[in-house]
Structure formats: structure tokens, C-alpha cells
């Protein structure tokens, strides 16, 4: 989940044993605009749209460091109102390191929505996915090659490609202005080892919540301007992280500021406070149909801005029924969660 500085130099140079490297690369992708990748955040958000939605996210992390991470997601989901459900497809691709470690995942999502009260609703979702991890072993440099100046490494890969099935689940409770949910990934902790070891992909968990404060409504009662706050806590093995922020939408222009870290409460070692980044957000929303967002992570940890920070772009397109059809559709199962 969190790509820590401690592992960065080792992973990107390839100058370590494969067993240590596999342990270091078991964390998942993290997105600063987590709410703009809803199917990745929580499968319970599948079908959180009036009819169908297409969403994509691109992230480049630490671009000034050789072999920096690049991550992309593409998602399609739609609402099936007759059975209070949503279905979706999620594609993920991630590349990291000078040896070109590649991660490709395709997942099918399903969510079922049901009321708790007249104003409070909930959704339960699942995702079944298939993953391929691959690496170019010829580009790896091992410790014995450096220490002994030996062109032949003793490390041997049993395979350059690893494939496995994976499963996720999530639950969310929401109203028209507030939402809170939790998600769990890698429920079966699949083995991802390249060298035949038992290197399990650890369970990842997250808890997320948000609230939208309407500032201005149109004559028809739709929210035009708003102030939104949201938070996302996530953990995997001994690593955890907390994102909290606020963004404002004024006449379609979106601006926001986020903080990532757990200062004061946790440090991974003495002198290394858990302060990761400030995230600056700018975007545009056109009639709640097309949303475009750009964010920049300003690194405030000991890695500093020398890493180049991180750049992230998100794009969401939502299709809604024409008004004459939409007026006759029930709104009860529309997920009023944070939308960019």
C-alpha cells in the first residue's frame, strides 16, 4: 500500500536479494484522489451512478527517481435499479523499478443496495479479480554482483510471471450528504512469489468517510456549490496511513487541500515521524457529467521534494437518463457519496 523510503533505493536499483525485494513490493497502489477511483476504493460503490459511469486515473509517483512508479486504472460500472444492484469492471496496471515490475489486474464488481431508514441507505459489494505480476530479471542487479564484482548472481527466479486470483469486499452506509464505509482486499492472501517461496499478499483494510455541505442550490434544488470533507484510513501489515482533506466546488471549479500522515501518534522508527505529503487539488466539473481533476503530492517526509513529488490525473464521465425519463425514476438508491 505505502511505498516507503526505506525500500525505495533497494527496489529501484534492484540491489538486493529477491526474497527481501518480494517482501518490499507487496504493498498496494495508493491514490491521492481516492474518491475518483470508487471501484478501487470500495466495491460497495459499484453502481453509484444514475445509469452508467466511466472513470480513469493515472498516477506517476516520485518522477525524479529512476524507475518511478506509474499506475493507471480504468473502470466501468452501471446501476441496475430493478434489482437494487450495480455491476462493474475494474482494470489496474502498475509498473515500478528499473527491472520493470509490472502488475496487471482485471476485476468484476457487484454491489447490492438496501435501505436502513427512509433517509439512510447501505450497500454491500464484492470484487473477484485475476492478477498477473511480471518482471524482467535481466535488468536486476544483486548484492553479490556488487560485492564480488561477479557477473553471475546466485539468485535464480523460478518464473518471471506470477498469476493468482484475488477477492475483495466492502460495505458502506450513506445519506444524501454523509457516508462511511470499510473495505477489505486480498481476503485469501494469495502467494505472489517469483522464486517459489510462500510470500503472501497481506490483507489490506481501509475505513473512509465524508460529508458534503451545500453552499448554494439551483432553483430545482440541485447542489451547485458545496464544501466537502473526506478521510481515508488504510493499513497493510505494519504500515498504515491516514488521508484527510477538504475541497470546494464553486460554479464547476474545484480546489482542495489534503494531508497524508499520522503525526505524533506513530513513527516507523525514532526520528521518522509519519508525515508523508500535502496534496494540492485542482479540477473542473461540467454539469455533474464530466469531472477532471489534477493533484500534486508535495512530499514532506525525509524523502523531501527531491523525489519530484507525485502527479495524478482523474477523469470521470457519468451518463444519465434524459430528464423526461429521469423524473419517473426512484432516487432512493442513488449513492450520495463524495463525487469529484
pLDDT of residue 13: 40
The answer to whether position 211 is within a domain reads: yes
What is the count of structural domains for the chain? 1
Cβ neighbours of residue 264 under 8 Å, at least 6 residues apart?
Answer: 273
The answer to whether position 339 is within a domain reads: no
140: domain CATH number is: 2.40.160.40
Range of the domain at 233: 5-326
The answer to whether position 336 is within a domain reads: no
pLDDT in tens, the chain (340 residues): 444 433 343 334 443 445 444 554 556 888 999 999 999 999 999 998 888 999 999 999 888 887 778 999 999 999 998 899 999 999 999 998 766 788 999 999 999 999 999 889 999 999 999 999 988 766 666 655 555 555 555 555 656 889 999 999 999 999 888 999 999 999 999 988 877 778 889 999 999 999 999 887 654 555 678 999 999 999 998 888 999 999 999 999 999 999 999 876 666 666 666 788 999 999 999 877 899 999 999 988 776 677 788 999 999 999 876 654 555 555 444 445 445 4
The answer to whether position 340 is within a domain reads: no
pLDDT of residue 194: 79
pLDDT of residue 269: 65
The answer to whether position 159 is within a domain reads: yes
The answer to whether position 58 is within a domain reads: yes
pLDDT of residue 309: 86
What's the predicted TM-score (pTM) here? 0.83
The answer to whether position 114 is within a domain reads: yes
Question: Is there a contact between 262 and 243 (Cβ–Cβ < 8 Å)?
Answer: no
The answer to whether position 337 is within a domain reads: no
| CB-based burial label for 169 (10 Å; 0-12, 13-18, 19+) | middle
Amino acid at each position: 500500500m505505502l511505498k516507503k523510503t526505506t525500500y525505495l533505493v533497494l527496489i529501484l536499483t534492484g540491489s538486493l536479494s529477491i526474497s527481501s525485494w518480494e517482501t518490499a513490493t507487496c504493498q498496494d497502489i495508493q491514490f491521492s484522489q481516492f474518491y475518483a477511483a470508487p471501484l478501487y476504493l470500495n466495491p460497495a460503490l459499484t453502481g453509484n451512478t444514475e445509469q452508467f459511469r466511466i472513470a480513469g486515473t493515472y498516477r506517476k509517483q516520485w518522477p525524479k527517481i529512476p524507475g518511478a512508479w506509474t499506475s493507471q486504472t480504468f473502470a466501468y460500472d452501471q446501476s441496475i435499479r430493478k434489482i437494487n444492484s450495480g455491476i462493474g469492471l475494474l482494470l489496474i496496471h502498475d509498473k515500478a523499478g528499473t527491472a520493470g515490475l509490472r502488475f496487471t489486474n482485471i476485476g468484476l464488481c457487484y454491489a447490492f443496495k438496501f435501505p436502513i431508514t427512509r433517509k439512510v441507505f447501505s450497500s454491500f459489494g464484492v470484487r473477484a479479480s485475476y492478477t498477473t505480476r511480471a518482471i524482467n530479471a535481466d535488468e536486476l542487479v544483486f548484492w553479490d554482483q556488487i560485492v564480488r564484482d561477479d557477473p553471475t548472481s546466485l539468485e535464480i527466479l523460478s518464473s518471471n510471471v506470477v498469476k493468482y486470483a484475488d477477492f475483495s469486499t466492502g460495505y458502506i452506509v450513506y445519506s444524501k450528504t454523509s457516508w462511511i464505509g470499510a473495505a477489505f482486499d486480498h481476503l485469501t492472501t494469495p502467494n505472489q512469489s517469483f522464486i517459489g517461496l510462500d510470500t503472501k499478499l497481506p490483507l489490506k483494510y481501509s475505513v473512509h468517510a465524508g460529508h458534503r455541505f451545500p453552499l448554494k442550490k439551483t432553483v430545482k434544488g440541485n447542489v451547485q456549490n458545496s464544501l466537502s470533507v473526506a478521510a481515508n484510513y488504510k493499513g497493510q501489515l505494519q504500515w498504515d496511513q491516514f488521508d484527510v482533506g477538504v475541497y470546494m466546488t464553486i460554479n464547476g471549479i474545484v480546489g482542495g487541500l489534503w494531508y497524508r500522515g499520522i503525526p505524533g501518534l506513530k513513527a516507523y522508527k525514532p526520528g521518522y515521524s509519519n508525515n508523508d505529503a500535502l496534496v494540492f487539488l485542482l479540477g473542473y466539473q461540467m454539469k455533474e457529467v464530466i469531472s477532471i481533476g489534477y493533484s500534486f503530492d508535495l512530499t514532506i517526509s525525509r524523502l523531501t521534494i527531491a523525489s519530484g513529488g507525485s502527479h495524478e490525473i482523474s477523469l470521470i464521465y457519468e451518463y444519465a437518463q434524459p430528464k423526461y425519463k429521469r423524473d419517473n425514476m426512484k432516487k432512493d438508491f442513488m449513492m450520495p457519496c463524495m463525487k469529484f
